[in-house]
Amino acid sequence: MIDYRLYWIRNGHFYRREEIEAESDEAAIAEAERRQPDAAAELWTGARKVRLFDPASASSKA
């Protein structure tokens, strides 16, 4: 399992963090999409940013 961190962003700053364990980037992205609110967020593993979640994209998925 790989450790990932999902950070929510408000006013240019991280304000919340959740841990995710997943087998791959794709699995972590899928889990983050289930957890991610209609707000900007970033998914990281170590020092590598895996994905930026744009609030406009999140709201269009509903």
Per-residue pLDDT tens for 19-30? 999 999 999 999
Q: Is residue 61 part of a domain?
A: no
Residue-number span of the structural domain to which 13 is assigned? 2-51
The pTM for the full model equals 0.83
Domain count, the chain: 1
Q: Which of 28, 26, 27 is nearest to 5 (CA)?
A: 28
Q: Is residue 29 part of a domain?
A: yes
Q: Is residue 10 part of a domain?
A: yes
Q: Is residue 57 part of a domain?
A: no
Q: Is residue 62 part of a domain?
A: no
Coil, strand or helix: which one is 4? strand
**CA dist., res. 49 & res. 4, Å (int):** 10
Encode pLDDT of 9-51 as tens digits.
Answer: 988 899 999 999 999 999 999 999 998 767 899 999 999 999 9
pLDDT for 52 beyond 60: yes
